A and B are shown apart, each in its own frame.
Chain A
Amino acid sequence: MKTFRLTALATVLLASAGASAQTYYYSDQASSGPQFYGAVTYQLGIPIGNTYNYVQDVSWRGIGLDLQWMVKPTLSVGVAFGWNVFYENVTTTINTVPGGVPSGTGVSIYGNQDRNFNFFPLLADVRFVPKLKNGVRPFLGVGVGGYITTQQLGIGLYSFSQTAFQFGLAPELGVIIPVEGGAGIQISFRYNMAFAGGGISFQQWLGMNVGVAWGPGI
């Protein structure tokens, strides 16, 4: 089901970009140097894999900041920062204890649990970002860098947390729609992958980001 959703989202985006691509790419970039554009986005996160196994609820708490510079008419480079919080409250039994148990001993803990992930993406971004005749900029990008990840478990009267830096990769598909006066709307889907590290397993989620873009580069 998840695969179908992802495929459908990607298809819609590509189809819209493809329809407009019947026109030609161009850029009205000034020759004075790389033009800047940025975006502040609200980010919704759909947990996948290990992230889903720990927190099944969709993340409604997310914010991001993208800073990009056009280095070629259809190519921009920059950075992406964010803060994504995944949270779920469940009452269930877990068969593990943070820190482990002696060998040969089985453990179960039942109780109300607060499960949290805090992700802080720190990515270097490169984007293929053509500009269509109508000014719309579909883009395909990839972010490489890392995630500062904090995983927390609160159960009963106790709370455990660990923080680690995880190397990360985040392909992204989106569009910037200019509105007026150098400002526009940025909509994108970013697939966040934080590779296992520092005691935290491989984490991944699909970010659906909507926000305001601005700058002479759009």
Chain B
Amino acid sequence: MRQLHRPARARWTVLALPIVGAVVAAGAACYPTGVDSITDYNTVTTAYKQGYDFAALSTYSVPGATPANPGNCVIKDLSDGGTVVNSANASTICTTVINQFNALGYTLVADGLSGNNVPPSFVVTLGFISQQYTAWVSYPWYGYWGGYYPGYPWGGWGIYYPYYTYAYSYKVGTILIDMDVPDAGAMEGEWGAALNGLQASPNNTPAVIQSYIVQAFTQSPYLGK
């Protein structure tokens, strides 16, 4: 009897194994990655109100900035309640954003704080958020050759798999640009951009920051007069 049953069992085993394998593999699917630099983690996200007539807008103001001194705008640190960001890159952020809006045909005017009594068509506010993340990664399989011990206790060939655990932390920074049209006392966002990435070199250099601000406007062709 066992002779008769063996082929049947073997056949079902052959059938079942690939199915189980496929289901297991689906849970651990293969995700190759092409990320090979810090800047590959950067994103520029823009959102806007569809159907809005951006060409109807003409003047704008940025808190703290004046036509004579556009690099003096206020950037709020939103992660600590709103203190003013005072970094070497603040001026780069201000002038780049203002240059982009000017290039679209809008005119920068001084804000109310600077003595201007004519309300602008829209207001641009700038913010920054910094968030700290901590992660732990275990590598039970790490060092598959590096951990090889020729003289393993029982003398034979053996592979030692050391168990490493790493803790690492990283900071994620986000620059926020908001374009708001004052409407009956309320501020309603019409367009916004979020530049997101790791706070590490070369992301904290003026050239990189500038290029991603320009990208935010490049991918928003509906802006402008």
Contacts and interface: CB of A to CB of B under 8 A. Distances in A.
A108 B22 contact: no
A156 B219 contact: no
Interface string B24-50: 011001111111000111111111111
A79 B49 contact: no
B14 A67 contact: yes
Contact of A118 (B29, B40, B198): B29
Interface string B48-66: 1111000000000000000
B172 interface: yes
B44 A110 contact: yes
B31 A154 contact: yes
Interface size class of B (residues with CB under 8 A): 35 or more
Where chain B touches its partner, the secondary structure class is: mixed
A83 interface: yes
A157 interface: yes
Contacts of A106: 47-50, 222
Contacts of B40: 91, 112
Contacts of A163: 26, 29
A166 to B, nearest CB: 12
Contacts of B48: 105-106
B160 to A, nearest CB: 31
B50 A118 contact: no
Contacts of A116: 29-32
B34 A114 contact: yes
Given A118-B26, A148-B26, A110 B50 contact: no
B113 interface: no
Interface of A: 61, 65, 67, 79, 81, 83, 85, 87, 89, 91, 93, 101, 104-112, 114, 116, 118, 120, 122, 148, 150, 152, 154-159, 161, 163
Contact of A110 (B41, B47, B219): B219
B18 A85 contact: no
Nearest to B46: A108
A109 B45 contact: yes
24 contacts: A61-B32, A65-B18, A81-B18, A85-B30, A89-B32, A101-B47, A104-B51, A106-B222, A108-B219, A110-B44, A111-B42, A111-B44, A112-B34, A112-B39, A112-B41, A112-B42, A118-B26, A118-B30, A150-B29, A154-B31, A154-B35, A157-B172, A161-B31, A163-B29
B41 A120 contact: no
A107 B41 contact: no
B62 to A, nearest CB: 23
Where chain A touches its partner, the secondary structure class is: strand
B197 interface: yes
Contacts of B197: 156-157
Given A81-B22, A120-B26, A148-B22, A107 B32 contact: no
Given A81-B22, A89-B34, A148-B23, A105 B47 contact: yes
B125 interface: no
Interface in B193-208: 196-198
A89 B40 CA distance: 10
B35 A112 contact: yes
A122 B19 CA distance: 8
B46 A107 contact: yes
A67 B16 CA distance: 12
Contacts of B89: none
Contacts of A108: 45-47, 219-220
Contacts of B26: 118, 120, 148, 150, 163
10 shortest A-B CB distances, which residue pairs? A89-B34, A156-B43, A111-B43, A118-B29, A81-B18, A112-B40, A110-B44, A120-B22, A87-B32, A150-B29
A29 B42 CA distance: 63
A158 B40 CA distance: 12
Contact of B35 (A109, A114, A158): A114
B118 interface: no
